[in-house]
Structure 1
Amino acid sequence: MSDWRNRVFCEDALAGMARIPDASVDLIIADPPYGLGKDYGNDSDKLDADAYLQWMQQWIDAALPKLKSNGSLYIFLTWRYSPEIFVMLKKRMTMINEIVWDRRVPSMGGSTRRFSSVHDTIGFFANARDYYFDLDAVRIPYDAETKKARSRSIFVGAKWLEIGYNPKDVWSVSRLHREHRERADHPTQKPLEIVTRMIKASCPPGGVVLDPFMGSGTTAVAARACGRDFTGFELNPDYCALIRSRLDALDAETAVSGIEQQEKLRASSAS
């Protein structure tokens, strides 16, 4: 089918994955249920360990053929199942990074029988050695103080000093607390900052991002904002409506921004 791009299909990913042509997607960003019993308006996160790992294998088998030969995958996981799932993926792909997302959870008690878990694990995998990766698009600028401290002649003209440094494999980005302006009505919504970094680094402009578990639609919103196409699936009709509303809000914001820019250009030309 030709109308699968820039669509979120309100159906189970396993049932609908055949809609996506093989070898047509540049990047997969997957945020599957973690196997922790979260309430997503259905029983999708209420499997026992064996059934959960079997289901993970099923959707991975269905999704990976959709990737191009130089495509990549990011997958959000927790420490409970990441070892088993990483082994599944390493049989099919090359593991590039294990990324730790530090959710900046404040110290507020917790278990007295173990250390508090305050991070998510993200696996970054690629199909081939020539996988697409644009480091310059996600470099982090140095602050003025750091630049000043590197003012000696040996640093003059250094590209890394001018355009910034490579993000490390620990990403310290606050979780979306209830008062956060980006927060939608979804229990495990991921921050735009994280997903945008993945897309800019691992999907070429005009490329396609597949998200099998769209949830609140962060992947779709980030892809559209970055000039990439998206496609994906979401089982819960309420979340499908939420995704549509977030995309409509982004389109309206973009339209207003474009009008304001045109007005500024006209004013500048008149003066």
Structure 2
Amino acid sequence: MTDTWINQVFCEDALAGLARIPDGSIDLILTDPPYNLGKDYGNASDQQTVDEYLRWTEQWIDAALPKLKPNGSLYIFLTWRFSPEIFVMLKKRMTMMNEIIWDRRVPSMGGSVRSFSSVHDTIGFFVRRKDYYFDLDSVRIPYDAETKKARSRSIFIGAKWLEVGYNPKDLWSVSRLHREHPERADHPTQKPLEIIERMVKASCPPDGVVLDLFMGSGTTAMAAKRCGRNFVGFELNPDYCAIIAERLAMADAPPPPEKKKPVPRAKRSLINS
């Protein structure tokens, strides 16, 4: 692609920057906006009143949706505190296909003593029309050998689902990124590549374009690059823009050459010739 906005992360407000992107040019919007829970992202984006937050959310949704292709899709990460209101906004504009629950595998310790501990994020999956792009085979989960053996009767021979694996359910149990995790960047709400890559593979065709309005640490861009897709996105915090640039540069860097193992020297014979 020759468009100058392709494979770029712009260090600016998405509401201003979306004008760079032509309408009907995006295959997938995949975004993780601020949850309005008071996190410090280097600005006040996560510290609005409820009314301000919902008005702002509706504003960026209405600015972003025209950028989608007619068969495009949208995934949005949310907290349960605001997902009902935001899902209603989106359902007035799109068709909801799934509410996906991301189980963060938080250890069972600490937390509130006046309510049940919250250990999940909510993800909404929305489409524009019935012929939306969706490649299930690219994200199937293989059956283990024991399951295949148990389904070895003749009626199962040649069954595609047994060979290619099963459809991921709408409960995704993937550990959050702990401080020591090799993926971890200096960002308070970084999402695992495993989750983002599943969305990209399933809902963006090869060489398609993924848009993320709130790039954060750049995981959407990394996932798109790793999966052979293009990306475009925005990030308001210049420190996070620097992290994104560093992660993308590392992804482009050639792997270090393998060190050659030293050849052991032949042992001298103790027997006189």
TM-score (norm 2): 0.92
The alignment covers a number of residue pairs equal to 257
Q: Distance in 2 between matches of 1:7 and 1:66?
A: 16
Cα distance between partner residues in 1 of 2:185 and 2:243: 8
Instruction: Quote the residue 1:60 is aligned against.
Output: 61
1:148 partnered with 2:158 = no
- Counterpart for residue 184 of structure 2: 183
Q: CA RMSD in A?
A: 1.2
Letter in 1 for 2:85: E
Q: After TM superposition, list the pairs within 5 Å mapping 1:81-92 onto structure 2.
A: 81-92=82-93
- Post-superposition shift, 1:109? 2.1
Q: 1: CA distance between counterparts of 2:236 and 2:57?
A: 16
Write out aligned runs for 1:102-117 (5 A): 102-117=103-118
2:74 is aligned with 1:79? no
Counterpart residue number, 1:210: 211
How far off is 1:110 after superposition?
1.1
| Residue identity in the other structure for 2:255 | V
Q: Percent identity?
A: 79
Give the Å deviation of 1:216: 0.2
Give the unaligned 5+ runs of structure 2: 259-273
Q: Which runs of 5+ in 1 are unaligned?
A: 261-271
1:27 is matched with 28
Deviations 1:220-241 (A, max 9, x none): 0000010000001000001001
Q: Which residue of structure 2 aligns with residue 167 of structure 1?
A: 168
Aligned-partner Cα distance in 1 for 2:101–2:249: 32
DSSP-derived class of the 1:256 partner: coil
Deviation, structure 1 residue 2: 2.9
**Structure 2 residue aligned with 1:12:** 13
Paired residue for 2:122? 121
| The structure with more helix, counted as a fraction of residues | 1
| Aligned-residue offset at 1:179 | 1.1
Q: Give 1:30 deviation, angstroms.
A: 1.1
How many angstroms apart in 2 are the aligned matches of 1:190 and 1:196? 11
The secondary structure found in structure 1 opposite 2:255 is helix
Determine the structure 2 residue equivalent to 1:248: 249
Mapped to 2, the partners of 1:222 and 1:249 lie a distance apart of 13
The TM-score, its normalising length taken from structure 1, stands at: 0.93
SS of structure 2 residue aligned to 1:245: helix
Q: Distance in 2 between matches of 1:221 and 1:4?
A: 16
Q: Give the C-alpha shift of residue 256 in structure 1.
A: 2.7
**Runs of 4 or more above 6 Å deviation:** none
Cα distance between partner residues in 2 of 1:249 and 1:232? 18
For 1:211 and 1:109, the matched residues in 2 are separated by: 33
